[in-house]
Amino acid sequence: MQATLEKAGNAPAIAFPKLALVKDERALVGAHMITAFSALAIGALLGPFQAFHRAPGFVEAFPDAAIPVFSYYYQALTAHGTLNALFFTFIFISGFSYFMTGRSLQRKLWSLPLAWVGFVSMLLGLLAMLYVLLTDPQRSAVLYTFYPPLIAPPLFYIGLVLLVLGCWITAANVIVTANLWRKEHKGEALPLAVFAAVANHWMFIVSSVGVAVEVVALLLPASLGLITRTDPQLSRVLFWFFGHPLVYYWLVPAYISIYTLLPNQTGVKLFSDPLARVAFLMLMIFALPTGVHHLFADPGVSEVNKAIHTFFTLLVAIPSFMTAFNIGATLEAAGRARGGRGLFGWMATLQWNDPVVAAQLIGLILFMMGGFSGLIQASAQLNITVHNTSWVPGHFHQTVGGIVALTYIGIAYWLVPMIRGRALFSKKMALAQVYTWGLGMMLFGHTMAESGLNGVPRRSLTGISPFLNEAAKFWLNGAAVAGVILLISVILLLINLGATLIGAPRPVTDAPTIDTRAPERVPAILNRWGVWVGILVALTLIAWLPVIAEALSVTEGFQILRWLPSGVPVP
Ligand code: HAS
Ligand code: CU
């Protein structure tokens, strides 16, 4: 490895081919970006206020400002979770998938009209969700995991159904487009970005069946009054069938950027393309048999099934370790090519002053923390200590709020100007935004984890709690400081993107390019999608059928599925 890196250090910068944007996709990708960031605008602005209201120091300092808003804590938390974690991410992923597929394959989508149908479905879903959150905040405060027996108004679930429907359309469109390309290019391997997107969309299709059944068979009928009882345990099982793969559905597009755009942006080749393909396939097949690690504290799942899912949870972390090595080696080559020397000197020469590159680098640093807190809570014994404490939001703000959101923002900083045809309003503001986001999420993740270790529960209005020890108060106040930093960051982001969209026209000068070349030789087995999707389905059935059977036997769920009165009454 030393020799390869030394060689890379002396190699001239690689010239990547410039590829034209497939024209009729400009409006499509732009529409997705604007809608996704509109959802984020509302969702992300609410976040810091939750941190303020959880901090005893804030409540003492501003009792008049704090108290009236308290009654809206769960409403705001629901909006924060659903708009950021579900609507922003899903709509962004669709837009980015369309962009990368069209660009990398230099080919039209299988069906552009269908892509628009999917977009309209997601947009209507977002509008339905916003409407119900605003007009019936009390009943729709079921949080982004919408566990029964809490039941929201029907529009809440209809919004979610429309969103997932849109994602299915994207998945079908991307997968069929890739297949058509493969038929037109016999013997050639898919470009890495599309390979990863196809794996991710297959994984989404299979996993979202769980949440679809939950919403359509259990929650929506209860909400419509068609059934009067519900089954919390069966619902939780079906939710986490989807809920863990969901985190990789978020992560893979960020990895696509880091694997296929970052090397290009830093002027080197990816260290190993086949290794990256293996990582994406592993994420796809091992993402599903893991979801029980969210149910370690639940009595309705046996120890054996908890152990099986623990095994797969540790297995699905391996592709992220592979990513750390593959991207670490790539970045080392980039740093050395830019004159960095010594053990750590190459890090200093990376483009820390370029917001697009810095967003991804800082995202990776956040993920080192968030990834390891994930591994800690993946052990059933340790999980019992941290489950349902602020440790868990600490973990996911460094993962989905960290590497995922920050990389998506980095992508937006080059993608939005390019498709809008105007330069980014302010590069300096973007840089400040990226660093405040990184600092804020690092601090927020750490303070939330510490407060969790000091017994602070998640999803609770701790600002007025009389039961906090001094350490817990200290860390919660720290989380509010992180909230201030993040509030500044969100405002900078929205000003910059908004001004880029509506500001005075300035032509883009530096549209980035994409490395679409597959390596000369990709092992044939990696291209056998039938095999990999088959393994995905088989592992899913093996890991989940016993868990679902258990849930049904414990809670008379069979009757629930037949819509007979049983289970827990809907409040
Ligand atoms: Fe998680 C709960 C376990 C990854 C998101 N997770 C959550 C929840 C969310 C979430 C949202 O086992 C809360 C759900 C809820 O509301 O209840 N998670 C894991 C494990 C991993 C993991 C083992 N999670 C993620 C990712 C997420 C995410 C990714 C979002 C995108 N998670 C759990 C468990 C729970 C959980 C339990 C339940 C907790 C409970 O009790 O409720 C792993 O896949 C992580 C592997 C990652 C690594 C890090 C690799 C490091 C890399 C960076 C390299 C850096 C470089 C930079 C190259 C091992 C790749 C070099 C140099 C420079 C110069 C920059
Ligand atoms: Cu998980």
Give the contacts of 8 (CB within 8 A, at least 6 positions apart): 268, 333, 336, 337
Report CA(428)–ligand 2 centroid distance (Å): 36
Q: Which of 266, 321, 395, 442 to mutate to test the pocket of ligand 1 (most atoms within 8 A of CB)?
A: 395
Starting from the CA of residue 312, give the closest ligand: 1
Residue with CA closest to ligand 1 atom 45 = 371
Q: Residue 258: CB within 6 Å of ligand 1?
A: no
Q: Residue 559: CB within 6 Å of ligand 1?
A: no
List, for the chain, all residue ranges whose pLDDT scores fall below the cut of 70: 1-24, 65-71, 504, 509-518, 554-571
The two structure tokens encoding residue 547: 């868990």
Residue with CA closest to ligand 1 atom 32 = 374
What local confidence, expressed as pLDDT, does residue 504 receive?
64
Q: Helix/strand/coil (H, E, C) string of 41-87?
A: HHHHHHHHHHHHHHCHHHHHHCHHHHHHHHCCHHHHHHHHHHHHHHH
Starting from the CA of residue 378, give the closest ligand: 1
What local confidence, expressed as pLDDT, does residue 13 receive?
42
d(CA 175, CA 529): 11
What local confidence, expressed as pLDDT, does residue 299 receive?
87
Distance of CA 199 to the CA centre of its chain: 15
Q: Which of 237, 318, 344, 399 to mutate to test the pocket of ligand 1 (most atoms within 8 A of CB)?
A: 399
Nearest ligand 1 atom to the CA of 250 is 31
Q: Residue 406: CB within 6 Å of ligand 1?
A: no
Report CA(237)–ligand 2 centroid distance (Å): 12
Q: Residue 371: CB within 6 Å of ligand 1?
A: yes
Q: Residue 327: CB within 6 Å of ligand 1?
A: yes
Q: Which amino acid is at 103?
A: R
Q: Residue 364: CB within 6 Å of ligand 1?
A: yes
With residue 533 as reference, give the H or E element that holds it.
helix 529-555
SS3 state of residue 389: strand
Starting from the CA of residue 289, give the closest ligand: 2
Q: Are 420 and 503 in contact (CB under 8 A)?
A: no
Q: What is the model's pTM?
A: 0.94
Q: Residue 351: CB within 6 Å of ligand 1?
A: no
Residue with CA closest to ligand 1 atom 9 = 396
Report CA(249)–ligand 2 centroid distance (Å): 12
Owner of token pair 């009454």: 569
Q: Residue 405: CB within 6 Å of ligand 1?
A: no
Q: Residue 316: CB within 6 Å of ligand 1?
A: yes
Residue 421 DSSP one-character state: T
Residue with CA closest to ligand 1 atom 38 = 294
* Residues involved in catalysis: 244, 248, 395-397, 458-459
